[in-house]
Each structure stands twice: as structure tokens, then as C-alpha cells.
Amino acid sequence: MHLFKLKNNNKDKKDKKDAGKPAGIPEGLWVKCPGCSEIIYKKELERNLEVCPKCNYHFRINFESRIKIIFDEGSFIRLFDDLKPTDILDFKDTKKYKDRLKEDYEKTGLSDAAVAGYGLIEKIEAASVIFDFNFMGGSMGRVVGEKITKTFEYAIEKKLPVIIFTSSGGARMQEGIFSLMQMARTIAVISEYEKTRLPYISVLTDPTTGGVSASFASIGDIMIAEPKALIGFAGPRVIEKTIHQNLPEGFQRAEYLLEHGMIDMIVERKDIKNTIKNLLNLLINY
């Protein structure tokens, strides 16, 4: 009897584990939306630019998807890919920094958290930096700061507008003060770029926080955000524990920032290319 019950218990566990899975359908075909908890067919989600068709939740996307959405097909040329991070502080937390870099390189194919380059947006040439949250949470270290600096310098030389797409947890703690220095460095090069009177458009995607939000990401001539993107310096939980008060509903989300005049517009992913094109036409010819 004991053996019989044991076998039944194991079967019950397996049944619970497999509950809700369609029979004969491979894993990876369906995605659960964090916004509405609906189960979405993955190919339908991809066709919808990684936006939930049920609740309009904007999933985080990698740099390749961003380039495909924004730039004319085959027009984007990458720059400064030779720049690679080094473990200058010999940093170790639960694992060595150099091991984290290796793991994320193998996972993403990137040497760091941002891709720089230039391309055409509806036949308008623009320089750009695109963050990829999959590489160490999109954190900004020396290489990311260098790519942003060099991109603005390239734009000054070539007389190009600049668009930066951020998705970042902030400055990279594994590089210490060398990471924090990039905040001042990026702001300094933007102040030089302003002399060209060409537009710098900052597109804030989920999340844009920490040292990135406190530096170059917040000083664009035009500030755009994707719907419901988390934007701020310290996270809501940290703030609540510091001030011992409950924060307003929607605090640090794009809609809250728009209401309080901290960004210029919220644009859905399907409209972002056309919006940027219209802004560039308006501002370049101004």
C-alpha cells in the first residue's frame, strides 16, 4: 500500500507540473505577459514589435530588434566595436567581474551594454547609441561612456543629429569611480555638441535609472519615453524605505513624468520611427 501511494504522489506532482500545458506543443512558443498575465503566442508578440496585443505592455527588446524597428533596412553601421571593458579594479562580489563580462558576452554577443553607430531613419542620417539591458542590466561603465562620447564627437564632425535609446540600471558598480566619471564626461561632450544646434533626442525605455538617468539620458533636446517605462534615480522601494512614506500611484513611470513636465511625450513602439523622423525633419530644418 505504501508503494502504491508513493507512486500516486509522484504522478500527482507530475500532473500539477504539466497542468495547463497544451499536449504535443514544444516549449518556447508562448510568453506570459508581465502586464496582464495573458499567455501570448510568441510569433504574434514578435509581429507586434514585442508589445502585448492585450494590454499594450512594452517588453524589453535587445539592440538588434531596436535597430530593426528604427533604422531603414541594412542602413545601420556600427562604430567603436573594438572598445572592450577590462577589470581594472580586479573586482569580485559573488563572482569575478571578468567572469560576468565573459558570461554576458556569450549570452548576448556584445562586448558591453551599448551599441554605437549611424544609419538612416526614413532616409535621414543620424548617429545613435542603443543600450541592451541583457548585458549586465545595461549598466554604464568606461566603455559605454567612451562610446557615447565618441558618438557625439563623430556627430559633431559629420554634422549629424543624435538619438540615444536607454535601458539601464545605472552606473556599473564593478568599475567604481571610473564608472561614475562617465556621468560628467557624457554631459561635457553634449555641451560641446549643443554648439552645432543639431538635435539630440533621448528615448527612455524600461528601465532608465541610476547614473544614466542622472546624466546624459535626462538632457535631450526632446525627451521621449515608451509607455509605462520606469524612469528615475533610486528605485521606488529604496525611496519608500528612506522617507518612510508611501509614494503616489504610478510614481517614476513615464505617464507620471509626463504629467509633471519631466518628459516631452510618450510614444508607442509602433509609432516611434515615424515620430523621430518628423522631429528630425522639423528640428534639422529649424
113: helix, strand or coil: coil
Which CATH code is given to the segment(s) 61-284?
Answer: 3.90.226.10
d(CA 207, CA 227): 11
For the four alpha carbons of 103, 50, 63 and 219, in that order, the dihedral sign comes to negative
Number of residues that this document lists for the chain: 286
CA distance 286 to 131: 29
169: left (phi over 0), alpha (psi -120 to 50) or beta: alpha
Please give the chain's pLDDT, 286 residues, in tens. 444 444 445 545 445 444 444 555 466 899 999 999 999 999 999 999 999 999 999 999 999 999 999 999 999 999 999 999 999 999 999 999 999 999 999 999 999 999 999 999 999 999 999 999 999 999 999 999 999 999 999 999 999 999 999 999 999 999 999 999 999 999 999 999 999 999 999 999 999 999 999 999 999 999 999 999 999 999 888 899 999 999 998 999 999 999 999 999 999 999 999 999 999 999 997 6
Query: Which regions of the chain does DSSP assign to beta strands (E)?
Result: 30-32, 39-41, 77-79, 114-121, 124-131, 162-168, 200-208, 222-225, 265-266
Strands (E) across 209-272 are located at 222-225, 265-266
The SS3 of residue 48 is: coil
Total-model pTM? 0.89
Cβ-contact 72, 122 below 8 angstroms: yes
Beta bridge partners of 165: 130, 203
